[in-house]
Amino acid sequence: MSTPIHAPKAPQFPLPFSHGIRAGDFVYVSGQVGVDPVTREVVGDTVEEQTIQCLRNIETILAADGLTLEHVIKVTSFVTNLSDFPAYNKAYEQVFSAPYPTRSSVQVGIGSYLIEIEAIAYVKSKRGEA
C-alpha cells in the first residue's frame, strides 16, 4: 500500500505529481528544484544556492511525514553543468552529514534550473543507526 505525501509548506506547482509517496518502509520524494516555496522564484544564481534550496524543499516534504534528512538513504541529482560539481558537493556537505546517502548524478537540461534533486528515505531508522 502506498500513501501520497502532500507538504503544504513545500513549493506548489500545477503539475501532475505528488511531493512524495510512502510505500512500506520507504518514502520517495519527487525531484525538487531550487525555488522558494512561497514565491516559486529560483533562489540564487549559483548551483550552491539552488542545491541548498532543493535540499531544504526535500526536508520540508519529509517533515510532513515525520522524517528528517537523516532518513535519506539515496539521492539522485540532475545537474545542468558538470563544471558545477565542486560547488554542488560543497553545498551537499553543508546540508547532509556523514554517513552520506548513496548518490547518483546525471547531467541534463532542465530549463532555467541549475539542479534538480530527488530522494529516497528509509522510515525505520536514520543513516548510521543500527
In total, the chain counts a number of residues equal to 130
pTM of this structure:
0.94
The three-point CA angle 65-71-75 to 5° equals: 105
In this predicted structure, what is the pLDDT of residue 88? 96
Which set of grid coordinates corresponds to residue 34? 531550487
Distance CA 71, CA 81 (A): 28
Q: Mind listing the pLDDT tens digit for each residue in 73-110?
A: 999 999 999 999 999 999 999 999 999 999 999 999 88
Q: Which pLDDT belongs to residue 8? A: 94
Residue pair 34/54 in contact by the 8 Å Cβ criterion: yes
- When the pLDDT of each residue in the chain is averaged and rounded to a whole number, the result is 95
* All domains in the chain, ordered by first residue: 2-122 (3.30.1330.40)
In eight-state DSSP terms, residue 34 is: S
- What is the spatial distance between Cα 65 and Cα 108, in angstroms, rounded to a whole number? 30
